Amino acid sequence: MFFPVFNLNYLVYMLPALILSAIAQFYVNASYSRWSQVPNRSGLNGAQAAQRLADRMGLYGMQLKGTPGKLTDHYDPSKNVLSLSQDIAQTASVASLAITAHELGHAQQDQEDYLPMRLRTAIVPVVNIGTTVGWILLLLGLLLQFSDLAWLGIIAFSAGAIFSIATLPVELNASRRARQLLKTNGLVTTEEEEKGVSQVLNAAALTYVAAIATSVLQLMYFASLIGGGRRRQ
């Protein structure tokens, strides 16, 4: 008998993650919307802040470039490239400082060979293969009622959950570095700016918590399918 992978039970399992994800997205949008409208006292936009901080951090080989989209800012350790979205790069707001400094926190991690970041980067190929192969093995195992094959699929698919869990400490550390960079370099000087930076960074952190919840609950649901299949045999 074939057990459907997505049904009403899937929504029941995933409801907490869906709620948390919705809250996280609302918090991100609200925090960014508010603090992107508040000018920072340094008068520096994201691109200018990135260049100043990078010089003071000794990140002379890092390349700064633009990237399309909203809140698509990221640091690529494989290329030593910091990409800033147009709004962040060109706006002198508190939110721009927070996001730019966070990505520079990743660049600093890269510069220092920060172990959690290295581990996360190292498992990316495993995650890409595991999530693809995992779906195939899981579906075949359920279709053929071959539970061992389905469990192999879950094990492979769990690479995504491991990646989400490994991502959280890296992101939290980058946010801690961001606060320190902004304060020690005089780019954040008031309590209001510190509050804004913290709200923006905390909102971003919640999205990673939501990603972990989604990955773990998804694995629990898939495991329940296999268990349910055995009870029906």
Angle in degrees, CA 113, 203, 157, rounded to 5:
65
- Gap between the Cα atoms of 152 and 140, Å rounded: 11
**Mapping DSSP to helix (H, G, I), strand (E, B) and coil, where does residue 63 land?**
strand
CA 7 to chain centre: 27
Catalytic status, residue 171: no
Rounded to the nearest 5°, which phi and psi values hold at 77?
-70, -25
Question: Which residues lie below 8 Å from residue 145, measured CB to CB, with a gap of 6+?
Answer: 1, 229, 233
Catalytic residue among 103, 191, 192, 194: 103
Q: Which of 163, 152, 153, 149 is nearest to 132 (CA)?
A: 153
Structure tokens at 190: 């008031």
Which residues are the active-site residues? 103
